[in-house]
Chains A and B, each alone.
Chain A
């Protein structure tokens, strides 16, 4: 029920108003504890006590520098794997190459000789043989 704008006859209201108000007024004294004031002031003093200030920003800055340095100098994982793979392939190629070369030049087991050298050597040997053994018949 909205009672905010009810018209109450003045005479009804005034009749006994003072009695009711008197009835609702404090009939005794309310006293807060004696310690209340001391406690409030003690807590207030506690709140304004200067606290030791810890300057955190230099440590934060140092941590950031270290972090950036680590990021900067650490090679990416992909590059590491690439480098390892490359080294492995080079080693495998060299070994394969050496083995092939050795097989091709069995008389030089302990020397590493490239295919081109072997080919050149064989070609010159072949040419020398051709030059020494002229064909007997001609097709003319």
Chain B
């Protein structure tokens, strides 16, 4: 193994350490199954490494990682539509004791966003849960930044109204 590949492995290790929990949260909040979410994360990180090996120019590794995990989650649902967890059944999904808390979180957030159109709920997830900026969201969704902001505002209003109704 030469020095260059050693450096690439070290770079990969750094990315894994820094990003694995964020990537796992991103995947888990959409998939709801730990094993599958980790498989998706693993595949994304290996794709990043392959890119590095091919010396392909990746303008921003950060943006590439975000786009990869988003695409990987979409591909997951395209490949395994039967494994999607319906929200009303999500609470019944058996989880390890250690995962009970994150599973409850998955159910809680998805219940809040369930009534929204998919394009809005995804923007809220990206903004609030994944902590992306509107610029990053716009790039990821291939939409103008103003559209991303508008969808977000509308989604928040929708949730406000929904919560008010529940309160009444």
Contacts and interface: CB of A to CB of B under 8 A. Distances in A.
Chain B interface residue number, banded: 35 or more
A13 B158 CA distance: 10
Nearest to B161: A12
Interface stretch (A38-46, A83-91, A111-119): A38-46
B154 A28 contact: no
Given A13-B156, A28-B102, A40 B12 contact: yes
A82 interface: no
Interface size class of A (residues with CB under 8 A): 20 to 34
A27 B109 CA distance: 10
A138 B156 CA distance: 149
Given A4-B147, A37-B13, A13 B153 contact: yes
Contact of A40 (B16, B53, B153, B159): B16
B161 to A, nearest CB: 10
A31 interface: yes
B2 to A, nearest CB: 9
Interface of A: 3-6, 8, 12-13, 15-17, 20-21, 23-33, 36-37, 39-41, 43-45, 47-48
Contacts of B25: 26, 30
Given A30-B28, A48-B53, A24 B129 contact: yes
A40 B84 CA distance: 25
A24 B121 CA distance: 11
B126 to A, nearest CB: 11
27 contacts: A3-B120, A3-B151, A4-B151, A6-B150, A8-B157, A20-B159, A21-B128, A24-B159, A25-B129, A26-B25, A26-B105, A27-B105, A28-B102, A30-B21, A30-B25, A32-B21, A32-B41, A36-B16, A36-B38, A39-B42, A40-B16, A41-B9, A43-B42, A43-B46, A44-B46, A44-B49, A48-B53
